Amino acid sequence: TMFLALNYLSAKSTSTLSMAWNTNATLTSILLITLMSLGGLPPLTGFLPKWVIIQELISNHNILVSLIMA
């Protein structure tokens, strides 16, 4: 769905995305939240699996791997 939104907005770069705010604010907002979720930012769905994986790595004494992942 993210690629369909980027195609619909004809966005090829982040500067083009910032210009798309004027034409379709709702779609641009949803796209921004989706991209942040893929990055694993805290209030979004991508954060919880990342947090669980880091917690499990630390409990298995793989601290270096968890630091690299974070």
Query: Do both 29 and 61 map to the same domain?
Result: no
Question: What range defines the domain where residue 70 resides?
Answer: 42-70
User: Helices then strands (H, E): number in the chain?
Assistant: 5, 0
Predicted pLDDT of residue 16: 80
Contact 54, 65 (CB under 8 A): no
- 30 with 16, same domain: the answer is yes
Looking at the structure of the chain, the number of domains it has is 2
* pLDDT for position 47: 76
Contacts of 10 (CB under 8 A, 6+ apart): 16
Predicted confidence (pLDDT) per residue in 14-66, tens digit:
778 778 888 888 888 888 888 877 777 676 777 778 888 889 999 999 889 88
- Residue 17: the pLDDT is 78
Q: Looking at residue 36, what is its pLDDT? A: 79
Residues 5 and 35 in one domain: yes
Are 21 and 49 part of one and the same domain? no
